[in-house]
Structure 1
Amino acid sequence: MFEAWRLSNLQYKTENPPNNQHNSLWWRQKGKFQSAGLIPEETADELLVVNLGEEENQIPVRINMPIHDEVNIIPIQPNKFSGNIKADNWVRQFIRWKNLQKICDEQACYDLPFHLEGAAKTWFEGLAELIQSNFDQLTTALKDRFENTYEDDDILLAQLPTEKAVEFLDRLQIKANNQNIPEHLLLRIAKKGFQASLKSVVVQRDPKTIDELRTAAIIAEKCHQEKESEKTQVSAISNENFQFLQDTINVLTKKVENLDV
């Protein structure tokens, strides 16, 4: 009797599926799935219900899918590049990331500078816009520029306190020749590396070549030396006047003392 009730109940539920938002009843007919309504969830472990009372080629299938489980997606980002490793290895990694994210070349050109830092970022900022906007040219230039590995300090040079402007430029050009640094990048590094007393004058003249930069640096250094010389002279005059005033005060003080006597 119980078995008859169970079969009757199962047939009723199959023929009259309630509106349940968690599970769907699908009929597979001629190799295709078609929705046949919604059926309730019997148990958490029940994955399949077969209606034996229907035609043989029609099998209602219920698939229980978790709808509240969240899938944690870890964002993948390429490592940042600063120039201290070989560029071709990093470029290959960036291209794999680009393909994984299905990013077009144009978008990759916008993304790439956000993965640069240090010397590599300084190099990118000095590139022509035409190269910055062409992915093939950009990656080729990056590999050519950072073919040899080196530390950031080798490129981010600064003028020493006792070093003349010309000496600083000569030292910088030696580094540039050894590492194939292009002229436009050399100009940027030199402008940033000058002493603060020279930097403002050099930037105002806006040199476009190394020769123009050298001339501007020499002029800036001479102007600074003249200002320092004027300060020294003014200081000497002030000290001399102070000494004269002090001597005068001493003489007057003695006269006053004699008058009191």
Structure 2
Amino acid sequence: TMTTTSQPDGTPATSIVYVQAPPRTPPNFSGNLHEDVDDWLGQYGRVARLNGWGPEQSLRNVYFALEGTARTWFENHEASISSWQDFQAELRRTFASQQRRQRAEELLQARSQGPDEGVTSFVEDVLCLMNRADPNAPEEKKLRFLMRGVKETIFGGLVRNPPITVQDFITEATNIERALQARASHYQRLPGVAALSTSSCNSPDLRDIIRDVVREEIRKLLPAAT
């Protein structure tokens, strides 16, 4: 598209050319066991929004993104599918992975924030797994997994004023993470390093243990010296 603009002072007109980006092509889905129908629907929906497709156009174009078993299924049931919402529901019902939710639940139960992992990476992965394991999970359940798996140094700051929403968790955990990083940079320390308490070294129990160990080592050496 070309637009011409004229200048009031008589200077030559300028032309502005608008180049329309070509439409994106959604990924294909064939219904194989290794494919995840929910992931594919999410990818297709993202492309549809980018291309400006509404529900009706998404349904009209979906045939060209299907192949193999999935395309055969659509051809057999196309007459009974009247909306994009119906298509998504029927596709999930037909090609849903039975192991998807179970596997996500197992990963969620074992998920904890890595030593060098940032808060954003940890939170997004937990929410992704939660969406697969329990798409309708309440805020309380999401928070429980986030609080259980977050780093100990961050958890200690969160329990002072426990978050009540996921967004509260993200905000507070990120602030704590930044504070720890600033401290580490200022004192040239690692955020996860715990300081050794000097008072613990002076406790009577520890002194007695050290004394007993020294005495035992001296006792072992005395026979050899004689």
Which category describes the TM-score, using the shorter chain as reference length? 0.3 to 0.5
Q: TM-score, normalised by structure 1?
A: 0.31
TM-score for both structures, normalised by structure 2:
0.35
Task: Give the helix-richer structure, 1 or 2.
Answer: 2
Bigger Rg, which one: 1
